[in-house]
């Protein structure tokens, strides 16, 4: 029975460890520049970005912890976050995930959010810190900062080793709705729609990573609507839409 469970977990980890949706046109981050940025691994392999929001908590996109079409997260034992390094492959501290809680108030996986409770405290320092959450959606036209280890070119085989920082502009949610027709309509208030120039934006590996405005977390990378580096905008999970739920979980 134990062998069967172990094999099952290995197979699940293999299926999950396909990086979820790069910062194209970005710049290298330096240690301590984005102390709230974390990487999320499953079965020992990088999967998504994550964001530190407390001594024992991190956030990521729901699609980073569930299989396509499923709304139940995989076992927490499969997951770990690494904090305190801009190098994806070395440095920092890895902390296992103890529990995964999802906000049930979403209408598609692409607008869902997952709260990760960690097995031990995050070691806050000059290079590791939590970020404040925004209660409000940034105004249209606002410039926000996005970051991640995702691919930086369509042909790149691996994730980018050094954390990348890029910029994006807040657009009306309908711009994302017009860019992609969904079988299930996406609720506008759950989405932060971000646009960018050609050869810029997020891609494979950047899902779950942060969008930051005026020092506060406003979104998590959720869905790439076109090809990486194209002109279509991208969907981010709105932190404002999930703010009250997150605060309730942290109490």
pLDDT in tens, 189-224: 888 999 987 667 888 789 999 999 999 999 999 988
Do 132-240 and 2-19+34-130+244-250 fall under one CATH topology? yes
Overall fold of domain 2-19+34-130+244-250: Thrombin, subunit H (2.40.10)
- 228: which 2 tokens? 């990486």
Q: What is the model's pTM? A: 0.87
Question: Which class in CATH covers the domain with range 132-240?
Answer: mainly beta
Contacts of 124 (CB under 8 A, 6+ apart): 55, 130
Query: Token pair 């209408």 is at which residue?
Result: 107
- 192: which 2 tokens? 């932060």
Whether residue 35 contacts residue 129, with contact meaning beta carbons closer than 8 Å, is answered with yes
The β-bridge partners of 46 are 41
Whether residue 139 contacts residue 170, with contact meaning beta carbons closer than 8 Å, is answered with yes
Extents of the domains making up the chain: 2-19+34-130+244-250, 132-240
User: Sign of torsion, CA 81 68 114 24?
Assistant: positive
Question: Does the pLDDT of residue 8 top 50, yes or no?
Answer: no
pLDDT in tens, 171-184: 998 888 877 666 45
Query: What was the pLDDT predicted at 189?
Result: 80
pLDDT in tens, 121-170: 999 999 999 999 999 999 999 999 999 998 766 666 678 899 999 999 99
Angle, alpha carbons 18-130-30 (nearest 5°): 70
Contacts of 120 (CB under 8 A, 6+ apart): 56, 95, 96
């Amino acid at each position: 029975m134990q062998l069967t469970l172990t094999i099952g977990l290995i197979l699940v980890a293999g299926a999950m460890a396909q990086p979820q949706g790069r910062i194209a046109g970005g710049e290298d981050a330096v240690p301590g520049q984005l102390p709230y940025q974390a990487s999320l691994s499953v079965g020992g392999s990088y999967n998504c970005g994550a964001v530190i929001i407390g001594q024992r908590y991190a956030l990521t996109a729901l699609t980073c912890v569930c299989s396509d079409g499923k709304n139940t997260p995989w076992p927490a034992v499969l997951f770990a976050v690494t904090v305190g390094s801009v190098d994806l492959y070395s440095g920092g501290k890895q902390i296992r995930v103890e529990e995964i809680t999802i906000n049930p108030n979403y209408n598609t996986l692409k607008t869902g959010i997952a709260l990760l409770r960690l097995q031990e405290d995050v070691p806050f320092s000059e290079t590791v810190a939590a970020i404040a959450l925004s209660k409000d959606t940034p105004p249209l036209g606002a410039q926000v900062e996005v970051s991640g280890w995702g691919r930086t070119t369509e042909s790149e085989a691996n994730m980018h080793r050094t954390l990348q920082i890029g910029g994006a502009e807040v657009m009306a949610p309908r711009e994302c709705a017009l860019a992609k027709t969904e079988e299930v309509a996406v609720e506008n208030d759950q989405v932060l729609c971000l646009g960018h120039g050609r050869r810029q934006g997020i891609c494979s590996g950047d899902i779950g990573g942060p969008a930051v405005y005026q020092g506060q977390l406003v979104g998590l990378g959720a869905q790439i609507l076109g090809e990486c580096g194209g002109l279509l905008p991208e969907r981010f999970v709105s932190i404002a839409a999930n703010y009250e739920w997150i605060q309730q979980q942290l109490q």
